[in-house]
Chains A and B, each alone.
Chain A
């Protein structure tokens, strides 16, 4: 071991695929996965059925019928999108919270690393396997929804609709990646699986429930509202938006709003002067919608990468021969 050398030896990719496929096999055959599959099936069928009912009653003709199936809701069931944004973080946390610490707890880490496998490859493999599992879940769900909506509504989706739906899938995967990253960080930090799961869920709850309130308080503190100055209201709205965009939930919600609703032209406050002469209700082209959701999408992807980098650094600095 050369302490002076900062440069690494050997490729981090060696043995990556072995870990990846082993982890995938573990995930896909686990009881966790069975539970998730049942949940998925129930929720997809329920959401699509209720959405199709609503559409049949209300919409005569819509160029984006498939996207409407994703977003239409009928009480008491939430829409498919609302369900996904609730369910996916939990699924990602369920797949990632014991990725590393279970190896410690079962004392298998040294055995794995006794193979010609780098630690980075192990971490990469675990991360990618969980992400691929989530992607499989999402794809299955997506195909299920499209198939069901074809059965219920009988209208084939158009090319742009399919493109938008796939981009929506990509955004969802990036969002799931963020939570997977958080779960991985927790699984490196905490030795106990239960603590790690609780910590990850606590983060999720914090962003889902409390961050909205905190963002409001922060916005009021930073840009106080002055009733005699109308601009202060705008400033406060912008500050609130900026603070709430710290949360990945907000980023994801905005991204799918832009992608699934072609009529959305802007995320955030719009001045009435900006809408002068605008023909409201006309759909944006796909490229423009993507451009609108682009910062949110890239933010989610970058956040995933950064969380992985953090996990990596933490994991590399751990003593594994305990």
Chain B
């Protein structure tokens, strides 16, 4: 018999737990720690289980001394909530502490009264003074990137708000002179320099560091900072800039055209400049010339060109002896390990005037013939 009673109780208990009818009044964290002196706003929800639609009275029945409590719905102070069957309504409870409030635990109690005796209670406890400090953290997985001055230095940085309040975070960076640093939201987002961050939220940022083109090859450090009020997080990222050879090819007067006589060697002065940040070793010179032409370089190899320095080369261009007069395109090339440059040079080929002299000689012979005839056959 007692067993039977116990079984009955158990069954009805199960039934009650599953088929609960009535009101529920709740908030996610009924007991929490807050900072001293700030107004707290708590989300409150009311839900009915299997009740007919009705208006539910909501009141704060117990308030800690000195505190002001008000229930707000849709921005106004409310006293009742209309709840449909199995539906939920949200409110917020605003708790304003008195001035000079002492640390300690304060209790509040909310009550919801529906028609037909449905009722729910919600006790709330606030502990003052035991709050987390404001904290931000900046982290990255790859703090050191290596590359040439023209490479892309992009760091994926995670900014985390490790406090219990929303923050507006300002981003800044300390970089060497002429380095440009830009923050943007991850995955191709906008460029930002301040962003709101909710409590406990983290955000991925892309930090792009652009070094100037003419930068010395050595490691550099960039300090990234996230600031919110008086709290800050710092992260040092490193750029290991390797040198880069960049060549340019031109002539001393920057003029890329000239004359050449067919069948003769014509010297053309060229200037090879290293505009990069690393020394160029073993710069080789070559040319693509029309067939039958000869192009020689003196010297045909430059041992070393320091960054920013230049070196003169003489190209000896010998157009083919059968070259037709007129303009031709030559391409000069300078290449060192990994870098190469080319310059198009327009050559105006002129033919030798030797045949012109032959023509003059021919006329002289003809004049001589006339002269001979005159002296030989001249008579009255």
Contacts and interface: CB of A to CB of B under 8 A. Distances in A.
Task: Say what secondary structure dominates the interface of chain B.
Answer: mixed
Task: Say what secondary structure dominates the interface of chain A.
Answer: helix
Given A288-B350, A295-B359, A278 B327 contact: yes
B326 A278 contact: yes
B365 interface: yes
B326 A282 contact: yes
A198 interface: no
Contacts of B330: 277
Contacts of A7: 375
Contact of A313 (B325, B367, B373): B373
B378 A120 contact: yes
Interface in A268-297: 270-271, 273-279, 282, 284-285, 287-288, 291-292, 294-295, 297
Contact of B379 (A119, A275, A276): A119
B293 to A, nearest CB: 8
Interface residues of B, number: 41
B258 to A, nearest CB: 13
A312 B355 contact: no
Interface of B: 289-293, 320, 322-330, 346, 348, 350-351, 353, 355-356, 358-360, 362-363, 365-367, 369-370, 372-380
Contact of B326 (A265, A271, A294, A309): A265
A133 B260 CA distance: 43
9 contacts: A119-B379, A266-B324, A273-B291, A274-B292, A276-B290, A292-B351, A295-B359, A301-B363, A312-B370
Given A113-B380, A118-B378, A278 B290 contact: yes
Contacts of A113: 380
A12 interface: yes
B374 A305 contact: no
Contacts of B293: 277
Nearest to A307: B366
A56 B323 CA distance: 36
Contacts of A271: 322
B326 A288 contact: yes
Given A277-B290, A278-B324, A294-B355, 14 more contacts: A6-B376, A8-B378, A113-B380, A118-B379, A266-B324, A266-B325, A271-B322, A273-B290, A278-B327, A279-B326, A282-B326, A287-B350, A298-B360, A313-B373
